Amino acid sequence: MSATIPDLWSDDIRVDVLPPLVILRSQADLLASKTKGILESRVLTASEGTQDQHQLDLIAPALHHYRVTLLTARHAKDMVYPVKVRSQAFLPEHKPGALVVSKSGFGPPADQKEAATQDEFIALVREVLHSGYVRSLIQSLIARSYQGESDEDTAEISENGAPSPNPDDHDLGASGKD
Amino acid sequence: MESAGVFPNRRIALTMTTFLFWNLMGNSDTTWANREDSLRDHIVHMAVSFGVDVFVFAESRFTPATLVGALNKAKVGRYCYPRSLNARLQIFTRFKKSAIVEQYDSEDGHLTIRRLTTPTTEIILAAVHFQSQMNWTPGDQALQATVVQQNILQTENDVGHQRTILIGDLNMNPFDPGLVGAQALHAVMTRDTARAETRTVAMRNYPLFYNPMWGYFGDRTPGPPGTYYYSASAPVSYFWNMFDQVLLRPALMDTLHDVRILESDGQVSLLTSDGHPRTSEASDHLPLLVELNV
């Protein structure tokens, strides 16, 4: 009597696999309607050598079309999975743009995770878009968009760390410098 | 060759904008406390000696308020720190705060692009701090340079011109693929070559940058032989590297008045007696001073 050989293939094999670029573009298309056009989103792709990198950007048209990248997804040109996803949202104690000092200087960066499959990639993108970092960023940019440019001009740090009370109360001269 | 003595105050040309980039070695957290005071003094000296309009710092552990206070005590202008979501690259200016407007920030803070309005025109200021070669392969760096190029192009498209200056610690030399590759930064060593504005490779046009830093290698020109000194134990070691660079688009390159790798802050030397960066009191990088007639 012959032994039954089990099915050794992974359970997550599927035939409707989408590349990361398509998944990101679908998310980019949704944001404008969710924010009534106050914010937009776009995917930018760069290619070099054997790698492609896509970035999902948030755009505030009312703030001089200010753009900020929420995440990047990098993969080999001929193999779209695995894909490395980087985002500030992955940092354990998120401080946007702050120095991330690696004690050893080696190993993958703290703001990077890898997805082996479409489902894992979707989970990572969801994690980023649902993060406090991204949600705060979206709300802040919407609020600033309502404020408009005139209030943008008051945004500076003065000597004591507080917003400057009357930033234009000095004579700048013809050069625009103090 | 600059001396370490007192440097006379520079007359501020009304149509000259002076930039200074410096990597402050803030990633060395064990030494920052010992260097913080002298770094602050160096920065203030440079503001006085060189009339710096725009400071760009990488690896800074200063709070913006600390530097604003120190700079304004020097009374060579009213410096401010225009708001930014990017804390990795700090930009201070004595222009009005409304003169520098956020345009783009990367997800990791390594690239920030601003619109800068000078007395005569508007330019795009891109500041960058690339990842170190310790963690990234040359291929990784080349891809990242391509990403930077793409983001600059997108910004230029959004803003409507290409008067762009890219300044920062690229952690690559001018001859590395990330600097010279057509899809990457595509930076060439002469203005005449850059004047073509684009170069066609495999039937695609790629925009050019002018890289003046090529002209500063070695000891046959005034100033330090590079911006970063590292003596590797590997068979190939350049010793002096030109990691800190400024690149200019053809639309802006003819406004370049001067580029200098600083070996003093105008009052105090930044070099040891061996002629290497004074790492224990300042930084392992030397500052880069750029003057544009804008």
Cβ contact A87–B61 (<8 Å): no
Least confident of A8-17, A148-157, B48-57, B262-271: A148-157
Whether the bond into A20 is cis, omega within 30 of 0: no
Give B26-84 pLDDT, tens digit per residue: 988 889 999 999 999 999 999 999 999 999 999 999 999 999 999 999 999 999 999 89
Residue A84, domain member (yes or no): yes
The predicted model gives A122-134 an average pLDDT of: 97
Nearest to A177 among B59, B94, B158 (CB): B94
CA distance A122 to chain B (A): 18
**How many domains, in total, are found in chain B?**
1
Check if the beta carbon of residue B106 is closer than 8 Å to that of residue A111.
Answer: no
Residue B3, domain member (yes or no): no
Q: Which domain holds residue A45?
A: 20-90+109-148
pLDDT value at position B7? 35
Would you say residue B202 has pLDDT above 80?
yes
Cβ contact A66–B81 (<8 Å): no
Residue A171, domain member (yes or no): no
For chain B, what is the HEC assignment?
CCCCCCCCCCCCCCCCEEEEEEECCCCCCCCHHHHHHHHHHHHHHHHHHHCCCEEEEECCCCCHHHHHHHHHHCCCCCCEEECCCCCCEEEEECECHHHEEEEEECCCCCEEEEEEECCCCEEEEEEEECCCCCCCCHHHHHHHHHHHHHHHHHHHHHHCCCCEEEEEECCCCCCCHHHHCCCCCCEECCHHHHCCCEEEECCEEEECEECHHHHHCCCCCCCCCCCEEECCCCCCCCEEECCEEEEECHHHHCCEEEEEECCECCCCECECCCCCECCCCCCCECCEEEEECC
Domain containing B212 — which CATH number?
3.60.10.10
Residue A136, domain member (yes or no): yes
For chain A, what is the HEC assignment?
CCCCCCCCCCCCCCCCCCCHHHHHHHHHHHHHHHCCCCCEEEEEEEEECCEEEEEEEEEECCCCCEEEEEEEEEEECCEEEEEEEECHHHCCCCCCCCCCCCCCCCCCCCCEEEECCHHHHHHHHHHHHCCHHHHHHHHHHHHHHHHCHHHHCCCEECCCCCECCCCCCCCCCCCCEC
Cβ contact B101–A64 (<8 Å): yes
Compare B31 and A154 and report the one with higher pLDDT: B31
Interface test with A, best of B27, B83, B108, B155 (most A CBs within 10 A): B108
The confidence band for A157, taking pLDDT boundaries of 50, 70 and 90, is low
Residue B8, domain member (yes or no): no
Residue B174, domain member (yes or no): yes
Give the orientation angle of helix B32-50 with respect to helix B64-73, to 10 degrees. 40
Report the DSSP beta bridge partners of residue B204: B201
Residue B10, domain member (yes or no): no
What ipTM does the predicted assembly reach? 0.88
Judged by a CB distance cut-off of 8 A, whether residue A76 touches chain B is: no
Touching B: A residues 13-72, CB under 8 Å: 44-51, 53, 55, 63-72
Cβ contact B87–A95 (<8 Å): yes
Would you say residue A159 has pLDDT above 60?
no
Residue A15, domain member (yes or no): no
pLDDT value at position B87? 84
Residue B179, domain member (yes or no): yes
Residue A35, domain member (yes or no): yes
Would you say residue A168 has pLDDT above 60?
no
Residue B4, domain member (yes or no): no
Averaged confidence pLDDT in chain B: 93
**pLDDT-above-70 percentage for chain B:** 95
pLDDT value at position A1? 53
**How many domains, in total, are found in chain A?**
1
Residue A97, domain member (yes or no): no
Residue B34, domain member (yes or no): yes
Would you say residue A166 has pLDDT above 50?
no
Nearest to A55 among B77, B107, B183 (CB): B107
Residue A172, domain member (yes or no): no
Q: Which domain holds residue B42?
A: 17-292
Nearest to B104 among A51, A67, A99 (CB): A67
Would you say residue A75 has pLDDT above 80?
yes
Query: For residues B104 and B90, what is the distance between their CA atoms, to the nearest angstrom?
Result: 14
The residue in chain A having the minimum alpha-carbon distance to the alpha carbon of residue B53 is A177
Residue A9, domain member (yes or no): no
- Does this model's pTM top 0.90? My answer is no
Would you say residue B93 has pLDDT above 80?
yes
Residue B2, domain member (yes or no): no
The confidence band for B278, taking pLDDT boundaries of 50, 70 and 90, is very high
Compare B187 and A161 and report the one with higher pLDDT: B187
CA distance B167 to chain A (A): 18
pLDDT value at position A49? 85
pLDDT value at position B264? 97
Cβ contact B108–A49 (<8 Å): no
pLDDT value at position A94? 56
Cβ contact A177–B72 (<8 Å): no
CA distance B274 to chain A (A): 28
Would you say residue B5 has pLDDT above 70?
no
Nearest to A157 among B68, B143, B146 (CB): B68
Nearest to B80 among A64, A67, A157 (CB): A157
CA distance B180 to chain A (A): 13
The confidence band for B124, taking pLDDT boundaries of 50, 70 and 90, is very high
